[in-house]
């Protein structure tokens, strides 16, 4: 027996469409999930939508349930929350998170879904993948009590990092962004806000997530001697220049990367991918994280909405997609 579903595909860079797909019945050890919500991360997904994935990174950038290949046609996405309609008894009827693209229904191995805690609303749970990135970043960064910290770049990832840092005792956390509108988001998350020009310096740690070379250069300027920039931005096919002359060596500054594709070396022997995602979902019990959802549309509107997200016409952190007609 097969059943129908609908999926969003990138037909070619800048052009999206809704396609009909057929789904088989779930086999033993699989689940059939009806999507309730999905999320568009304006950073990575719009870069994919523009065709900005460099050929050398085609394999590394594959999403877990991606179909097709870059630059297109490709079905891409990784923030999905749905209801298990068929599957093992411990999952049937549960709301789950899955790293699945935008699709009304789908069949995946049961091990690929994570139950959403009862105290986390399904519509907030779409943030789990991004909060998981923030968890991994902070495992890499290892902030200490009393640290002076800046998060440069108030996008979805940067704001998620700032939200988690707000819980650390005794730290000075400042969200730095060129858009003054991010001040309201910072306030909701419980951290200070500054423009790049007014940001406080002498930072022990700077987390950079603006995906601009200006932001990365400013991050270096904000460090105290022997401070560290943890780089979360992914630049796709763009080259980035850095001022590694001047005082970079004399102040013994550090730039290190962090990427969610692997569990941080600091926790690799004691935590699994499943542990990390479950922790991210637990952290989403905090209603302050609702500030990261800044827009919403129906699933059928995605072909019109994604070009506007990619161009910046719709300013967004996480843009949430609702599935009103899951047939």
Whole-number average pLDDT of the chain: 94
Asked if residue 151 lies in contact with residue 313, where contact means CB atoms within 8 angstroms, the answer is no
- In the prediction, which pLDDT does 185 show? 96
The confidence band for 325, taking pLDDT boundaries of 50, 70 and 90, is: low
Burial of 190 (0-12, 13-18, 19+ CB in 10 A): middle
184 and 117 in a common domain: no
172 and 224 in a common domain: yes
Query: Does 274 fall in a domain?
Result: no
35: β partners: 82
Mean pLDDT on 63-75: 96
Is 269 a residue whose pLDDT tops 50? yes
CATH of the domain at 190: 3.40.50.720
Q: Above pLDDT 90, what percent of the chain? A: 88
Range 44-47, long-range pairs (CB < 8 A, 24+ positions): 44/234, 45/76, 45/77, 45/306, 46/306, 46/309, 46/310, 47/234, 47/236
Instruction: Please state, in angstroms and as integers, the Cα–Cα distance from residue 316 to each residue in 35, 85, 291, following that order.
Output: 22, 31, 11
pLDDT tens string 173-201: 999 999 999 999 999 999 999 999 999 99
Query: Does 7 fall in a domain?
Result: yes
Minimum mean pLDDT range among 1-5, 145-149, 250-254, 316-320:
1-5
Query: Does 218 fall in a domain?
Result: yes
CATH of the domain at 299: 3.90.180.10
Asked if residue 43 lies in contact with residue 312, where contact means CB atoms within 8 angstroms, the answer is no
Mean pLDDT on 36-53: 90
Is 36 a residue whose pLDDT tops 70? yes
141 and 116 in a common domain: no
Is 137 a residue whose pLDDT tops 70? yes
Is 234 a residue whose pLDDT tops 90? no
Is 327 a residue whose pLDDT tops 50? no
The confidence band for 60, taking pLDDT boundaries of 50, 70 and 90, is: confident
- Residue 68 CA, chain-centre distance (Å), reads 21
155 and 111 in a common domain: no
Mean pLDDT on 278-295: 96
Phi then psi for 323, rounded to 5 degrees? -110, 85
**Cβ contacts of 72 within 8 Å, gap of 6 or more:** 9, 10, 11, 12, 13, 15, 51
Minimum mean pLDDT range among 83-92, 196-205, 239-248:
239-248
The confidence band for 315, taking pLDDT boundaries of 50, 70 and 90, is: confident
- In the prediction, which pLDDT does 326 show? 45
Q: Which two tokens stand for residue 83?
A: 């209801």
136 and 120 in a common domain: no
In angstroms, the CA 288 to CA 189 distance is: 6
- In the prediction, which pLDDT does 2 show? 67
Q: What is the DSSP string of 275-327?
A: HHHHHHHHHTT-GGGGGGEEEEEEGGGHHHHHHHHHHTSS--SEEEEE-S---
46 and 101 in a common domain: yes
Give the end of a domain, one of 205, 222, 257. Answer: 257
Q: What is the DSSP letter of 26?
A: P
Q: Which domain holds residue 233?
A: 130-257
Task: Please state the domain count of the chain.
Answer: 2
Give the end of a domain, one of 214, 240, 257. Answer: 257
């Amino acid at each position: 027996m097969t059943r129908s579903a609908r999926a969003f595909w990138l037909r070619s860079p800048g052009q999206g469409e809704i396609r009909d797909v057929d789904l088989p019945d779930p086999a033993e050890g699989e689940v059939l999930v009806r999507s309730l919500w999905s999320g568009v991360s304006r950073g990575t997904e719009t870069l994919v939508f523009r065709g900005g994935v460099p050929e050398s990174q085609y394999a590394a950038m594959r999403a877990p349930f991606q179909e097709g290949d870059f630059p297109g046609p490709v079905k891409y996405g990784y923030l999905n929350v749905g209801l298990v309609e068929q599957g093992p008894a411990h999952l049937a009827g549960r709301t789950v998170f899955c790293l699945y693209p935008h699709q009304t229904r789908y069949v995946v191995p049961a091990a690929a879904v994570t139950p959403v805690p009862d105290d986390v609303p399904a519509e907030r749970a779409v943030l789990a993948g991004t909060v998981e990135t923030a968890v991994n970043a902070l495992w890499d960064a290892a902030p200490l009590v009393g640290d002076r910290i800046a998060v440069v770049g108030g996008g979805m990832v940067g704001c998620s990092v700032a939200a988690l840092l707000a819980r650390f005792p005794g730290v000075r956390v400042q969200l730095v962004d060129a858009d003054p509108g991010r001040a309201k988001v910072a306030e909701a998350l419980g951290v200070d806000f500054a423009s790049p020009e007014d940001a406080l310096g002498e930072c022990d740690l700077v987390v950079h997530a603006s995906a601009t070379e200006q932001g990365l250069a400013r991050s270096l300027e904000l460090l105290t001697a022997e401070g560290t920039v943890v780089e979360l931005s992914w630049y796709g096919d763009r080259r980035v220049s850095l001022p590694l002359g001047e005082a970079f060596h004399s102040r013994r500054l550090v730039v290190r990367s962090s990427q969610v594709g692997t569990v941080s070396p600091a926790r690799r022997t004691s935590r699994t991918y499943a542990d990390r995602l479950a922790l991210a979902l637990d952290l989403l019990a905090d209603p302050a994280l609702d500030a990261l959802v800044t827009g919403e549309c129906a699933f059928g509107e995605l072909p019109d909405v994604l070009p506007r997200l990619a161009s910046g016409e719709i300013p967004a952190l996480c843009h949430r997609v609702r599935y009103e007609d899951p047939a």
